[in-house]
Amino acid sequence: MSMWGSPMSGRSQPLDYASGSGVRDKAAIHFFNAVYAWMAVGLAVTASVGWLVASNTSSLKHLFSGGALIGIFLVQIILVVAISGAINRINAAVATALFVLYAAINGLLFASIFLVYSLPSIAGTFIACAAMFGAMSLYGMFTKTNLTSMGKILFMALIGLIAASFVNMFVANSALYWLISYAGVLIFAGLTAYDTQRLQVMAAQTQGNAALAARLSVSGALMLYLDFINMFLLLLRIMGKQRN
């Protein structure tokens, strides 16, 4: 799944907030509409693939056998790097195809949550995550505060979270498990606001350049998709009820 490495893509770059012009002009509104639309497509693809795989016993056997999971994880990293690093060298169609492919591959790993958690629990967690994500995205969109410093702190906190998760794989400490879960929700909620503000700068940079706007809208969708997915998975650890 998407915890933890891939969400770090591109977050070490400073936010040139002064160049952003907000989301109130038509071009910026069009850009954000495209970002959220592609993000929604990515989430729908992930959920659909996950559900279909979880419903197919044969697919599950192949997925959880041998080194399939390791291979899938490596392909995910390659795709994120390709989309983020080559976004200015590939056209919008290629960027979109890579993003949808990434969402579909992520769906393969999401099959496990349909096996572990009940559907009402998954649905309730999704609604809670959507509400939190929406609130933080709106904050990042309309706040007049420059969130650059907060983004740097959250990036370092994310690295610490990854390190703590790795350590807990071996020590299996329940207190650390819950600390990671709650801290992770807060970190990705903050990153949602920060990334939304970054997207305002990206929107300003695409003024009068439809091709650039199409490419960057896919890159922006990937950023927010990763924030949402990771926040959802962490909330599911907190709120989810496992199947009997």
Please indicate, yes or no, if residue 28 is contained in any of the structural domains. yes
**Could you give the number of structural domains in the chain?**
1
Please indicate, yes or no, if residue 15 is contained in any of the structural domains. no
Using one digit for the tens of pLDDT, what is the confidence trace for 33-58?
Answer: 999 999 999 999 999 999 998 888 77
Using one digit for the tens of pLDDT, what is the confidence trace for 62-93?
Answer: 777 667 777 888 888 888 888 877 777 888 89
Please indicate, yes or no, if residue 2 is contained in any of the structural domains. no
Residue 4 pLDDT > 90, yes or no?
Answer: no
Please indicate, yes or no, if residue 3 is contained in any of the structural domains. no
Percent of the chain with pLDDT over 90: 57
Using one digit for the tens of pLDDT, what is the confidence trace for 178-209?
Answer: 999 999 999 999 999 999 999 998 898 888 88
Task: For 12-25, give one letter per residue: b (16+ CB within 10 A) or e.
Answer: eeebeeeebeebee
Contact of 195 with 150, CB cutoff 8 Å: no
Q: Residue 194's domain spans which residues?
A: 24-239
Please indicate, yes or no, if residue 10 is contained in any of the structural domains. no
What rounded mean pLDDT belongs to the chain?
86
Please indicate, yes or no, if residue 207 is contained in any of the structural domains. yes
Lookup result for tokens 């299996």: 172
Q: Work out the pLDDT band at 11, boundaries 50, 70, 90.
A: low
At 88, give phi and psi (nearest 5°).
-90, 0
Indicate left, alpha or beta for 117 from its phi (over 0: left) and psi (-120 to 50: alpha): beta
Using one digit for the tens of pLDDT, what is the confidence trace for 156-171?
Answer: 999 999 999 999 999 9
Q: What is the pTM of this model?
A: 0.87
| Cα-based distances in Å from 39 to 27, 62, 221, 226 | 18, 28, 5, 9
Please indicate, yes or no, if residue 43 is contained in any of the structural domains. yes
Please indicate, yes or no, if residue 4 is contained in any of the structural domains. no
The alpha carbon dihedral of 185, 189, 195, 199 has a sign of positive
